[in-house]
Amino acid sequence: MPTILVDPRNPDPHAIDRAAAILRRGGLVAFPTETVYGLGAHALDEGAVRRVFRAKDRPELNPLIVHVADQDGARRLVTAWTDIAARLAAAFWPGPLTMVLPRHQRVPAVVTGGLPAVAVRVPAHPVALALLRAADLPVVAPSANPSAAVSPTRAEHVERGMGDRVDLILDAGQTRLGIESTVIDLTGDQPRLLRPGALAATDLEPFTGPLATAPAPTGSQRLASPGMLERHYAPRARLALFASHDRETAGAVARAAAREGATVGALVLRPLDAPVRHTVAMPTDAAAYAARLYDELHRLDQMGCDLILAEQVPEGPAWDGVRDRLSRAAAEAPPSGT
């Protein structure tokens, strides 16, 4: 698939126009945001939206985020623009915050998996904004990876994961924040955190008041944010978490795996004394860690790791997004699979 290099500081209008034309006629364009690369399609074109689900092999019940160039664009997609939404938009847009609000009927139900609410966000990336303005459309954009795999933070990750399923990739280098937006639900009485992400809940609470968290999913219960249940953000290698204070167990696991011929990788905050083939010393700052996490997981997969030992990250709200992604990457696949 064609990949076009674009300078994020000065996106070439010809490249942007070409991508916008593909979106307008119902095609798929992978583009950079400040969080991860998105797989974009015309949000008001049902056929285009279905193509996104198919390209990702994503269950149609898992709703998509609609990206718009500005607040006005978002307001056209919802039936209620609450005071809290207005305050959050003023404070954090463009930026890594996704708000779930009552869906306007002009948004096709396929976008939200039939839910009466729609997720909206204005991304803070010059290429994404230029594309949204040029296309002059709302654009659905899940992360541009096959469903449940590690999200892409570079165009190469998109090419490798789904290059044959997109019409164009806009390559503006590595994304800045490295994990996905924070998703909050504003449709209920109390604002609710659906997915921790690049923005910490404590950054939002001055505007929202105390945030409720998503109830733990049980059995067949329908999920508020279905993407939250599955094993997700997972590399091909098995990922095992170890506690910082339990380096002996991690060492023993690595030795046992190595004896069986497995290639072992590790993501650590402090050195680990173990037979690990590829050790990545990760930053001890949460934002810097997030910016590198997916890139390192992709790299360890590329190196052929069978097992990745990942040191648990510190407690505290700054680490919530990273902690969430690590634990979902480490989760066992559900027995029935989805």
The listed partner (ligand TXA, Mg ion, none) that binds 265, CB under 5 to 8 Å by sort, is none
* Residue 155 binds ligand TXA (CB under 6 A): no
Give 139's strand partners: 42, 67
* Residue 225 binds Mg ion (CB under 5 A): no
Q: Which residues contact 105 (CB under 8 A, 6 or more apart)?
A: none
Count CB atoms within 10 A of the CB of residue 237: 20
* Residue 74 binds ligand TXA (CB under 6 A): no
CB of 285 to ligand TXA, least distance (A): 20
The one among 8, 142, 152, 191 contacting ligand TXA by CB under 6 A = 142
Torsional class of 113: left (φ above 0), alpha (ψ -120 to 50), beta (otherwise): left
Question: Which residue in 191, 195, 174, 162 sits closest to 324, CA to CA?
Answer: 195
Alpha-carbon distance of 232 to 74, in angstroms, equals 27
The one among 33, 35, 143, 225 contacting Mg ion by CB under 5 A = 143
* Residue 33 binds Mg ion (CB under 5 A): no
Alpha-carbon distance of 143 to 37, in angstroms, equals 6
CB of 183 to ligand TXA, least distance (A): 5
CB of 80 to Mg ion, least distance (A): 26
**Contact in structure between 90 and 74 (CB atoms under 8 Å):** no
The one among 27, 94, 108, 123 contacting ligand TXA by CB under 6 A = 123
The one among 118, 150, 186, 257 contacting ligand TXA by CB under 6 A = 118
Site string for ligand TXA, 7-46 (x = CB under 6 A): --------------------------x-xx-x--------
Give 96's strand partners: none
* Residue 64 binds ligand TXA (CB under 6 A): yes
**Smaller CB distance to ligand TXA: residue 63 or 265?**
63
Region near Mg ion per CB under 5 A, out of 83-91, 98-106, 141-149, 301-309: 141-149
* Residue 62 binds ligand TXA (CB under 6 A): yes
The listed partner (Mg ion, ligand TXA, none) that binds 182, CB under 5 to 8 Å by sort, is none
CB of 311 to ligand TXA, least distance (A): 25
* Residue 208 binds ligand TXA (CB under 6 A): no
**Smaller CB distance to ligand TXA: residue 68 or 250?**
68
* Residue 153 binds ligand TXA (CB under 6 A): no
**Smaller CB distance to ligand TXA: residue 33 or 208?**
33
The listed partner (Mg ion, ligand TXA, none) that binds 141, CB under 5 to 8 Å by sort, is ligand TXA
Q: Which residues contact 43 (CB under 8 A, 6 or more apart)?
A: 49, 64, 66, 77, 107, 108, 111, 137, 138, 139, 140
CA count, 13 A, side-chain hemisphere, 338: 17
Which residues contact ligand TXA by CB under 6 A? 33, 35-36, 38, 62-65, 96, 98, 100, 112, 115, 117-119, 123, 141-143, 180-181, 183, 194-195, 224-228
Which residues contact Mg ion by CB under 5 A? 143
